Structures are given as C-alpha cells and as structure tokens.
C-alpha cells in the first residue's frame, strides 16, 4: 500500500454507559462494552457518527470510540495491527490487503452507494480530459480517486507516466494546492470535494459516473466496505451483533430523518447545513435487510468487488486478484 496515515482526532463518545437504560437481553449481553471504530469525515462513516451522537449504540450496551484517519490504507493498517476493532474502508485498501494475504480482518456489509460526491476537479483552463495533457494532477495514491484518474486517463488514451504529471497528495491538502496553482487538477471526495468545487475558478471535470465499471455494473472505483478485526469477531460475537444493530439503526435514521442526521454530521464534516443536506441527497443508503443479498446470497456486491480486484491487477495496483468471498464474515451480515 502506498498511502500513509496520520491519526488526527480521537473523539470519545458514549464510553460511559447508563446501564439502567440499556435494553439488552441477558444472553446477548456484549462481552466487551467498548468498540474502537476507525473513521474519517468521509460519508462512509456517517452511520457510525450518527449512531454515537444519537445514542443508538448505547441503547445496545455499547460505547464506541471514533478514531479519525486521513486514508483507508492507514485505517486498515491499524485494524490488522489490533489498534481498531471495526471500521469502514474504501474497498481498494481492503482488496490490497487481501492480495497481500492478510487474514487479520473480515468484511460484513456495505453501507452506501454514491457516484456524484467524488471526482476530478480542474481549474478553468482545463475544459476536457484531453486538456490534462502536460498538466499536474493530484490524487491520493492507492485510493478510489487514484483509480478513477487511471481509468479516466485510459479511456481517453492518456498515459499517466508520459502525458502528464501525476502527484500523490492528501485530499485535505488539495484546496491549498489548487488555490496556489501548484496543481492544475485533482481527484477528491467529499467533504473536500465540495470545498474544492466552491473555490472560484474550479469546476467538475468528471465524477464517478464516468468510471468504466460504474457504466457497466454501477460499481464505483472504491465502494465502502464495513470490516472487523477477525480476532475481535471471534472473541466478542455479542459485541459485534450489538454494533451491527446500532449501526444499521443509524442507517435507517439517515434514510428516514436526514435533517436530524445532518445536524450532528456538521460537527464531523465542518460543512454548512446546506452543503451537508446536499451531500446526503447524493447518497443511497443500504439498509440492513438488503445486506445479505449483497454480501452472501447471491452476493452481487462481492461479485462486483471481485471484478474491481481484477481491474486493479490490470492497472498494476496489485499483483494478483484475491478470492474476495473468502473474506466475508457471514455471522455479522445483518
């Protein structure tokens, strides 16, 4: 993996439980009452944040610690190292670890589908993909945005090693780099995606709907994936079940009451309430009752992940395509 991470924030939420208000059956009591979750301000972590802020995990006897990372690669590294218990991650980082043979984690759900809150943003002098020739474009390497750039360049006959300069940059560093003219275009995801679009002179060149697998299978370049540390899942099954219940109650809240959800999400994203509501409108949340069909039977999402793994081999991001279905933890699928 090429991405690096920097842990920037640790928000303690719900660590102290009000045991008198917890409605948990005795035989389902969580073996461990604190779960360490790896997140960021990316939309894939909204359910965990809403679950913490609205007390949905606490209702099932859990306190959840939200640790913030800049990149999925760093988050996954911490998960397999034992510093995290559960996380949402861009699937590319998960596939990269699978390809490397890591057996320290398992996947159990996908929380959302999105296509218009990630893309390539360019300055006003770049009108088409062809105009990127000779320019400097930034993306966080080994990320979904990086894969989108490689795919778009290939679709338009541009060689990233010969026709332009492709730079590895964190998404939070892109607004300053675009503002100073250090780069001419960049690939980013929300909330930095929205901030970049709001800067004078910037415009959207393409979003995930132009990704080749999205055109064919409605699969983005890095769909979100919920993962658990394997040892944690084996040792604390009731805790994992409680986490899944609280998490998907938060998904239901995001679907049924987006305005109430947005009120707590702005503390995570620093977006305005208006921009936060706009982002929420661009997301399709996947409720718990639909997860088994996606992950197990017939497992269409896992099939799409397998195709993405083969795509990454083609673009020399990983050496071999792992059998993705070997990393599915069926006991945690809702």
The secondary element (H helix, E strand) that includes residue 145 is helix 144-155
Ranking 6-10, 169-173, 250-254, 257-261 by mean pLDDT, the lowest is 6-10
Q: Which two tokens stand for residue 203?
A: 């415009």
Residue among 153, 110, 173 at smallest CA distance from 324:
110
Q: Do 284 and 44 meet the contact criterion of CB atoms below 8 Å apart?
A: no
Q: Residue 18 pLDDT more than 60?
A: no
Cis peptide before 191 (omega within 30 of 0): yes
Separation between Cα atoms, residue 221 and residue 129, nearest integer Å: 18
Tens-digit pLDDT profile for residues 30-82: 999 999 999 999 999 999 999 999 999 999 999 999 999 978 888 999 999 99
- Which residues, other chains included, contact 150 with Cβ-Cβ below 8 Å and sequence gap of 6+? 160, 315, 317
Tens-digit pLDDT profile for residues 175-224: 999 999 999 999 999 889 989 999 999 999 999 999 988 887 777 888 89
Q: Which residues pair with 66 in a beta bridge?
A: 11, 37
Per-residue pLDDT at 20 = 39
Q: Which one is predicted more confidently, 79 or 17?
A: 79
Confidence of residue 7 (pLDDT cuts 50, 70, 90): very low
Mean pLDDT of 276-305: 92
Per DSSP, the residues of 302-326 read: HHHHHHHHHHHHHTTSSSS---GGG
Q: Residue 121 pLDDT more than 80?
A: yes
Q: Do 208 and 187 meet the contact criterion of CB atoms below 8 Å apart?
A: no
Q: What global pTM score does this model have? A: 0.80
Tens-digit pLDDT profile for residues 151-170: 999 999 999 999 999 999 99
Q: Which one is predicted more confidently, 163 or 2?
A: 163
- Which residues, other chains included, contact 156 with Cβ-Cβ below 8 Å and sequence gap of 6+? 129, 130
Residues above pLDDT 90, as percent of the chain: 76
Separation between Cα atoms, residue 105 and residue 97, nearest integer Å: 9
Per-residue pLDDT at 26 = 57
What are the CA-CA distances from residue 113 to residues 16, 175, 208 (Å)?
Answer: 33, 25, 11
Q: Which two tokens stand for residue 240?
A: 């994992």
Our CA angle for 82, 88, 91, nearest 5°, is 100
Which residue is associated with the tokens 């924030």?
A: 9
Separation between Cα atoms, residue 237 and residue 281, nearest integer Å: 34
């Amino acid at each position: 993996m090429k991405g690096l991470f920097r842990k920037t924030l640790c928000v303690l939420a719900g660590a102290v439980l009000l045991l008198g208000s917890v409605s948990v059956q005795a035989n389902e009591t969580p073996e461990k009452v604190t779960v360490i979750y790896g997140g960021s301000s990316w939309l894939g972590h909204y359910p965990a944040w809403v679950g913490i802020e609205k007390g949905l995990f606490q209702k099932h006897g859990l306190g959840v610690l939200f640790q913030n990372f800049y990149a999925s690669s760093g988050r996954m590294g911490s998960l397999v190292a034992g510093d995290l218990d559960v996380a949402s991650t861009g699937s590319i980082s998960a596939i990269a670890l699978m390809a490397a043979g890591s057996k320290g984690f398992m996947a159990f759900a996908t929380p959302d589908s999105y296509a218009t809150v990630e893309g390539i943003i360019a300055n006003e002098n770049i009108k088409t993909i062809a105009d990127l020739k000779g320019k400097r474009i930034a993306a966080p390497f080994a990320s979904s945005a990086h894969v989108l750039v490689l795919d778009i360049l290939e679709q338009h006959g541009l060689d990233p090693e010969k026709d332009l300069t492709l730079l590895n940059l964190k998404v939070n560093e892109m607004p300053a780099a675009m503002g100073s003219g250090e780069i001419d275009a960049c690939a980013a995801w929300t909330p930095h995606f929205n901030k970049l679009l709001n800067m004078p002179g910037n415009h959207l060149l393409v979003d995930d709907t132009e990704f080749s697998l999205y055109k064919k299978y409605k699969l983005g370049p890095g769909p979100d994936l919920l993962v658990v540390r394997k040892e944690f899942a084996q040792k604390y099954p009731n805790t994992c079940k409680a986490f899944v219940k609280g998490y998907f109650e938060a998904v239901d809240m995001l679907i049924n009451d987006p305005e109430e959800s947005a009120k707590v999400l702005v503390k995570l994203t620093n977006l305005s309430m208006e921009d936060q509501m706009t982002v929420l409108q661009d997301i399709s949340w996947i409720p718990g009752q639909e997860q088994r069909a996606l992950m197990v039977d017939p497992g269409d999402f896992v099939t799409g992940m397998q195709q993405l793994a083969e795509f990454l081999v083609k673009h020399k991001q990983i050496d071999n395509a792992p059998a993705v279905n070997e990393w599915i933890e069926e006991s945690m699928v809702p």
